[in-house]
Amino acid sequence: MADGVGVDLDNVWIRFGDFVAVREANVHINGGDFFSFLGPSGCGKTTILRAISGFLDPSEGRVLIGGNDMAGIGPNKRPTALIFQNLALFPLMKIWENITFSMEVKGASTAERRKRADELLDMIALEGQGDKLPSELSGGQKQRVAIARALCAEPDVLLLDEPLSALDLKLRQHMRTELREIQQRVGITFIYITHDQGEALTMSDNVAVMRAGIIDQIGTGHDVYDRPATAFVASFVGENNVFRGKIQEIQGNEALMQSNRSGLLRATITPSAVGELKVGDDAMMFIRPEALALANGDSHDKARISAKVLSEEFEGNSYSVYLEGDGGKEMKMSMPNLGQDPEASRGQDLTLSYDVGNAMVMPAGELASE
Amino acid sequence: MKSNVFVSRLALGIYLLIFFGYLLGPLLIMSLTAFNSNAFPSVSPWACFTFEWFQVLFHDERILNSIKNSVIIGIGTVILSVAMGLAASLVLTQVWAKWRSTYYTIIIAPILIPGVVLGISTVVFWDRLSRILGPASDALFHNGIFLTVLGQSTFIASYAMLVFVARLQRYDPGLTEAALDLGATHTQAFRKILLPFMRPAIASASVLAFLASFENYNTTTFTFGRYPTLTIELAQKVRYGINPSISALAFIIVVLTVFGAIALEAWRRNKLKALAVKEGTAPVGRSILPGFLRGNWAAVVLVLMSFAVITVFWAGQSYSPAQCKQRVLELKQAETQRRIQELQLQRQIKRQADALKGPDIFGPSSQSGTGTAGDNPFGGVFNPGNLEGQSGTGTGPTEQPKPEEEPKAAPKPSPFGGVFDPGNLDDVGGN
Amino acid sequence: MKKPLIFSQFFRNNGKMMGGIMMFLVAFWIIVLILLPQLSMLDFSFRFNLPPKELGGPKDVYTLHNYRYLLYGADGKEGTYNTVDLMVFVRTIIAAMAVTIADLILCYPLAYYLGQSKGTGFVRLLVVLLIIPYWINEILRAFALRIIFADSGIVNDVLMTLHLIKEPIDFIRADIALYAGLGYAYILLMLFPMYNVIESLDRNQIEAARDMGASWTRIHRRIVIPHAKPGISSGMTMVFMLSAGALAAPQILGGPSSLWFTQLVYQWFNGSLNWQQGSAYAIVLLVSSIVIVMTFMKIFKVNMGDIGK
């Protein structure tokens, strides 16, 4: 549904005293998109959400919803609904009262509210539970009530502030699917805040990766995973092996980097750094564990690294091999378990190969701390 | 080892006995004095069991009027201090961290400022303000009710604020934001979300504020003007002459308090029990007691106490201590008679002895003086029956002596006080 | 993420109407009820007691006269001190401290006992029994003591019956009734804060210490008392301030020859109608008790935030 209401952040700065929480954010969110802000805690993503929902004003710049400037419009006048991290269900109200609170404040009659509550309870598969109190529901049920309550307000934009973080793993995975389904059904814009890259990648049309108040990259899940714009994005989204070094040679969109420990490495320059990365620059090369393989006869066209095996772990569907990597850091390689012997034992020297297209090189930068 | 445990238990028992004796003993004795017919509140000697002091109390216009004042002031104080305390506690949650401790110190300070200082400063300030604003404001700014409500609210709001802060610590400000986000106005969010959450705290703060206002003496004593509260009236009575009608009032207050405390406890237990039943942890069993009473000693005591009070009231309607009083009166008269005779006997002996010593110029005059005194006006003045009679008729609704005058009245007309030893006087004056 | 109290943000969080009402109430309380009255009392204490028509006249000037009076007496000669009033002041402060310490000693064991034996019906009963006197009027509590300490009161009666004394003791004149009454009046303000903090102490800590062979005194000195410190200091502050500022108990239970400092204030105010002098005495009482409390809080490293918990 492309006809939903879009959201734009136009050069938004948010400061608290001397502290800059958000720096020069420029984001365009398409109407009807499932858009995620992904970043570690304290990166300012919740602050952005609060600015969109109207709980605080940007110190600079504009927030536009459906093209309208929201300056001076309070949270109760904006076409947004927010699902809070702790859900913030009203503990003293019954479920149906919670769900239809937005109608109550507009003066709707009890009968109208009851009817609407029943429809929404049907939708979230909680038929007949409307007269319970929130404390009588399970975590996943509360989650769905919070969604129904927000949807009842018929917002143009639904904002979700890490709503799944309190759930256990299994339920979280189930709720991801459910959220995505609901979004597709109602067709409104969802803006989702999370520090869990799995959530962001599975559900979102587009993801913005944030670091310390700065938006590093905006793109599809594939973009940020496969073509990270900065070292931070590369190290934050998914697992990655990092190699540091200096650029020795540039050929088109490929570069040769002299690494500190692992010799000369060939990699693709990440699209946003093409033309920026110069010979002699400090650089970082990233390669994912699943992009590494044991070198064998038919991999002439691939780049190679050799390293010493430190340990090996069997994880059921795959093996993880830890090797002596760059800069004293461990390097990880994962191999699918296809019934073969991993052929890696401690102390053994291995030669690994990788596809140059899977190794990304970019200017050196701050890494996400584990 | 075993004797050690026994000794420490014994020590604990004795300590608890002393502590609670100190705490409750005076109240118990005070309550008992309300039923003794002695004019000075006492339990020993026990004269007659009586309800007359309650009658005296119920016909004391000043007390009744002061109760009215207390209630008016109490309601005003509850409204003002609960509103200010709630607003202050809400601001506290939002105040800039740098200013928070300063702000907290200011709003907690009234608890620590001596009550007399609060009273004086309130009176002084409004007096000054009325002089600035001119005579038009005089009537209000010198009004006892107005000043007392303001003076008391100054510190009672701090108590209310503490109650609210404790409750607000468990409030999730996200709830208010959620309501706003769902389209509620700030007023709606306050009324529909925050207020219901704060309701228990508002109830307890109101009770606390009312009690604190009702009890307050130090501040009110400077501010009350022409509207004495019950506490002020009580203090006047206690300071300028004690009689058991104060005990009667105290007894009523004690009973009400005990009722309140037990009712609260019963309610609390009932709620706990309901919770336990809901969680399925309560023992399920049949009992002859109705559900409310089961496993709830407080509720049982509450019901028993209600019966006791009803019985006592009923007894009070029909019981008359007249007979007992008559007996006490006769006993006293006999006692007085005996003493007089004794005294006369002594004098006679002394006179005889003096006569034996020889004539004295001053002798006869002095002798005759004491002599006539000893004979007649004596019994008239000091006859306890007189006094008893007065308090006896005092139970009637019409004429009654000011209670506190009674003890004073006795010693006054006694030019012969020197005749009696002080103990004797006390005895008569006290009865 | 603490938001600063910039007014616009405050009104944004609370709405114009609710924010306005809240601001008004808090400002009314702090400015009109707390600050201005205290300031005008301070101002008053530096003025002469003049008849109304001379107010604003040439004689209406600031003076230290009222404070000098407390120090040097009526003639104002330096060197001869106003010993009567000064003695009353010193006695009030020292006696209030003594009452505070006595209450502390009396309450600590009970607070510990109640705080550590949770939940049993007996303990609840004790708490209910504690609440009852807490709710009863200060005047009536003083009155109750007046009754039992009277010449023919139960205390003298019992002592005489036991032949411990021959003549009734005048407890009022000996001020015993007064001290008992002051201790009695505020004892629960000592007990409840201590009870509350001790209740929050994890019983396992005590058991662990006992397990390691600590004696009872050491357990209290090293574990219970440090944990209960906020409650103890809160209770002591309240009892001291309220005892030093008490008026009812001294008026009802005080002997005829010995006065409490608040009674002097009362006399200046209601007896002599010299508000200026009364204000000066009240300021002295206020400032000195605050200084004393602050000093002790500094010595024992207690925060203002602990008070009232």
**In sequence order, which residues have a C-beta less than 8 Å from that of residue C113 and are 6 or more positions away?**
B12, B16
A-chain residue closest to C9, CA distance: A56
| Chain segment A270-283, per-residue pLDDT in tens | 888 887 888 888 89
CATH architecture of C82-308: Orthogonal Bundle (1.10)
Cα–Cα distance for residue pair B49/B315, rounded to 1 Å: 12
Structure tokens at B143: 């009004």
Burial class (CB in 10 A: 0-12, 13-18, 19+), B398: exposed
Structure tokens at B216: 């307050």
- Nearest C-alpha of chain B: how many angstroms from A161? 12
Q: Contact B335/B427 with Cβ under 8 angstroms?
A: no
Cα–Cα distance for residue pair C171/C165, rounded to 1 Å: 13
For residue A255, give the H/E element and its range: strand A254-259
Q: For B229, what's the count of Cα atoms within 13 Å in the CB-facing half-sphere?
A: 31
DSSP calls for A155-167: -SEEEEESTTTTS
Asked if C189 has any chain B CB less than 8 Å from its own CB, the reply is no
Given a cut of 90, is residue B140 above it in pLDDT? Answer: no
Query: Which ipTM did the prediction report?
Result: 0.84
Return the closest-CA partner of residue C75 out of C63, C65, C85, C84.
Answer: C65
Q: Contact B152/B216 with Cβ under 8 angstroms?
A: yes
Chains that touch C (3 or more CB pairs under 8 A): A, B
Asked if B248 has any chain C CB less than 8 Å from its own CB, the reply is no
- pLDDT of amino acid B174: 87
Cα–Cα distance for residue pair A67/A7, rounded to 1 Å: 7
Cα–Cα distance for residue pair A8/A28, rounded to 1 Å: 5
Domain range annotation of chain C? 1-45, 47-81, 82-308
Size of interface A-B (CB pairs under 8 A): 61
Better-predicted residue by pLDDT, B192 or B30: B192
| Chain segment B329-379, per-residue pLDDT in tens | 777 788 788 888 888 888 888 877 776 665 554 444 444 434 333 343 343
User: Cβ of A17 and C12 within 8 Å?
Assistant: no
| Chain segment C98-121, per-residue pLDDT in tens | 999 999 998 888 888 888 776 677
Tell me chain B's radius of gyration from C-alpha atoms. 31
Highest mean pLDDT among B307-316, B326-335, C40-49: C40-49
Domains and CATH numbers, chain B: 57-243 (1.10.3720.10)
Neighbour tally for B406: CB within 10 Å: 21
Given a cut of 80, is residue B109 above it in pLDDT? Answer: yes
Burial class (CB in 10 A: 0-12, 13-18, 19+), C63: middle
Cα–Cα distance for residue pair B427/C18, rounded to 1 Å: 66
Better-predicted residue by pLDDT, C306 or C250: C250
- Nearest C-alpha of chain A: how many angstroms from C15? 9
User: Cβ of B184 and A105 within 8 Å?
Assistant: yes
- pLDDT of amino acid B380: 38
The beta-carbon neighbor of A102 closest among B182, B186, B197 is B182
- pLDDT of amino acid C7: 67
| Chain segment C4-30, per-residue pLDDT in tens | 445 677 777 788 888 889 999 999 999
Asked if A117 has any chain B CB less than 8 Å from its own CB, the reply is no
Better-predicted residue by pLDDT, A300 or A290: A290
Sign of the alpha-carbon dihedral angle for A54, A139, B172, A41: negative
Cα–Cα distance for residue pair C289/B26, rounded to 1 Å: 30
Sheet holding A206-211, edge to edge: A80-83, A157-161, A189-194, A34-38, A206-211, A214-219
For residue C122, give the H/E element and its range: helix C121-135
